[in-house]
Amino acid sequence: MPGHVLIIDAVSNRRIHLRAQLDTAAYAVDLADTLRDGLTRLQHDPPDVVILADDLPGLRLRQVCKALRANTKTQLTTIVVAVARENHSARISALSAGAHDVIDHHSDASDLRARLRNFMRIRQTTEETQHQKQGLTTGLAEARQDFTPKTRASVIATGGTKDMTTRIAAMPDDSGVRAHFVTALSARRTPDPETDVFVIVESGSGPDARDLLGALLTHPDSRHARILFVSDRGAPAASPLDLGADDHVPHSVTPAELAVRIGRLARRKQESDRARSAARHLNELAYTDPTTKLNNRQAMDAYLTRLDRTLAEHPRPLALLIADLDHFKAINDNHGHAAGDDILAHIATLLKSGLREGDFIARYGGEEFLIVLHDVGPGQARSVAQRLGNRVAATPKRIEDGPHVRATISIGLAHASRTDRLSTRALLRAADNALYLAKGNGRNRIEVAGQQDFERLPARAVDAVTQGMT
């Protein structure tokens, strides 16, 4: 489905010019010559982008922007204002009123098309994440701020810096932008991870600035920052917006507009940071067991699936342990379920602290824990299991307003060498059988799976079938 653009301008030759600059094969373009007609079209068939002439009779831009944002049908519509060339005060007024961008009435075709492509990309990203926001939008449709957030900007000039230094110094003091200059080499190698907006100033026709743009987009310390590209290069050179920049202005940009655009990009970046943090939190909730704070069964299944794919391409020695808390029912019966949960959390902490950073642990279910040890031999794996068992037995947990409870664990261990080519499911089955053997042999012990444990059904499955027949 092509994008939809609505142009509202009382001057016919400007409407026609803007329409001619657009790729009508990619965009459905509608025209309106009055504000009333345009707003009616907006409500009936909301466009992706609306372009408003700043001198449109009756236009109160701030009210229009506020109304469009408040309407669920139009809150994602990108608002662009067309102004007379070099009318810097009109540009600032439009951006301050809530417009997402400003263009010239006689905008260059390549620049206008690049901006529209950028708007469409941002809208698509916003739509994909909007269901997590419950009415809040990211991307271009930023919420209005009641305060000026502090913004850290890194300015990189690939040519002369004198003119840009003057413009940066002339930005309004109340803009909240704290800018500092860095060299292109420094930005490429060690970009400042605290930077909200990188300002790349392109001088001349060399590839340095555009290469730097690509480097910042992929570096782990800068890939989430926003990038404002300052350049006068037009066609046939590719637009910086198509190369990944978030905004593009000419060298003639005023200090005031520069500050506004940097501040808007910073707010988008900060909103994106909050969205990623919320997503990480939700992900942690979905994959974390609330009692033990370990990975839960869902996380375990996903991990084992990924591990199987990795082992198929890169075989490596592996050990899988299932640890089961001994006599857990008796703990619950004697001390209560709250105490039982405390004991589980206590043992989870002991087990996790006894593993290496690259090992994996999850709550397998009930009072059981699954542990995956990478790149260990059978002797090493047994030593780890023994150390974990000893640690649990030697570290009793004091129950609130009660006695210390000494718990023990039984462990079933299954090992595979690099040449065994065993799946994690096979190891899980064997470790489960070894665990049942450990429980049957008196508990508080370790049993290592033998060949027969890999070949037979898990003992718990056999028990379930047997119980169903009696």
Q: What is the pLDDT of residue 165?
A: 84
Which whole number is the average pLDDT over 348-358?
94
Percent of residues in the chain assigned helix, strand, coil, to nearest 5: 45, 20, 35
Which whole number is the average pLDDT over 210-223?
94
Which whole number is the average pLDDT over 266-275?
89
Are 363 and 326 in contact by the 8 Å Cβ rule? The answer is no
Question: Is-cis flag, bond preceding 47, omega within 30?
Answer: no
Q: Which CATH number fits domain 1-141: 3.40.30.10, 3.40.50.2300, 3.30.70.3270, 3.40.710.10?
A: 3.40.50.2300
Q: pTM of the full predicted structure?
A: 0.68
Q: Cα 242 to the chain's mean position, in Å?
A: 22
Q: What is the pLDDT of residue 144?
A: 46
Residue 135 pLDDT > 50: no
Q: What is the pLDDT of residue 459?
A: 61
1-141 and 145-279 have identical folds = yes
Are 52 and 59 in contact by the 8 Å Cβ rule? The answer is yes
Q: What is the pLDDT of residue 148?
A: 53
The residue with tokens 């139009």 is 74
Residue 160 pLDDT > 90: no
Q: What is the pLDDT of residue 5?
A: 95
Residue 464 pLDDT > 80: no
How far, in Å, CA of 461 to CA of 457, rounded? Answer: 7
Q: What is the pLDDT of residue 151?
A: 92
Which whole number is the average pLDDT over 142-165?
72
For the chain, give the percent of residues with pLDDT over 90: 69
Domain boundaries, the chain: 1-141, 145-279, 297-469
The chain-wide mean pLDDT, for the chain, equals 88
Q: What is the pLDDT of residue 461?
A: 52
Six token digits for residue 328: 């857990």
Which whole number is the average pLDDT over 288-301?
93
Q: What is the pLDDT of residue 130?
A: 58
Q: What is the pLDDT of residue 317?
A: 95
Q: What is the pLDDT of residue 457?
A: 66
**Residue 220 pLDDT class (50, 70, 90 cuts):** very high
Written as one letter, the residue type at 266 is: A
The H or E element containing residue 149 is: none
Residue 6 pLDDT > 90: yes
How far, in Å, CA of 334 to CA of 340, rounded? Answer: 9
Six token digits for residue 352: 């996790």
Summarised one tens digit per residue, pLDDT across range 234-252 is 656 789 999 999 999 998 8
Which whole number is the average pLDDT over 381-402?
92
Are 52 and 8 in contact by the 8 Å Cβ rule? The answer is yes
Q: What is the pLDDT of residue 320?
A: 97
- Measured between its terminal Cα atoms, the distance across the chain in Å is 62
Sequential DSSP letters for 400-465: TTS-EE---EEEEEEEE-TTT---HHHHHHHHHHHHHHHHHTTSSSEEE--HHHHHSPPHHHHHHH
> According to CATH, what is the number of the domain 297-469?
3.30.70.270
**Taking the CB of residue 298, how many other CB atoms lie within 10 A of it?**
13
Residue 19 pLDDT > 80: yes
- Strand order of the β-sheet with 151-157 is 177-181, 151-157, 197-201, 226-230, 247-249
Which parts of 193-296 fold into alpha helices (H)?
208-218, 255-287
Cα three-residue angle 269-208-106, rounded to 5 degrees: 65
Q: What is the pLDDT of residue 128?
A: 67
Summarised one tens digit per residue, pLDDT across range 32-86 is 999 999 999 999 999 999 999 999 999 999 999 999 999 989 999 999 999 998 8
Six token digits for residue 355: 């593993």
Residue 137 pLDDT > 70: no
Which whole number is the average pLDDT over 388-413?
92
> According to CATH, what is the number of the domain 145-279?
3.40.50.2300
How far, in Å, CA of 153 to CA of 269, rounded? Answer: 12
The residue with tokens 């027969």 is 452
Pick the closest to residue 112 from 244, 15, 22, 52 (CA basis).
Answer: 22
Long-range contacts of 331-337 (CB under 8 A, 24+ apart): 331/405, 331/407, 335/399, 335/402, 335/405
**Residue 400 pLDDT class (50, 70, 90 cuts):** confident
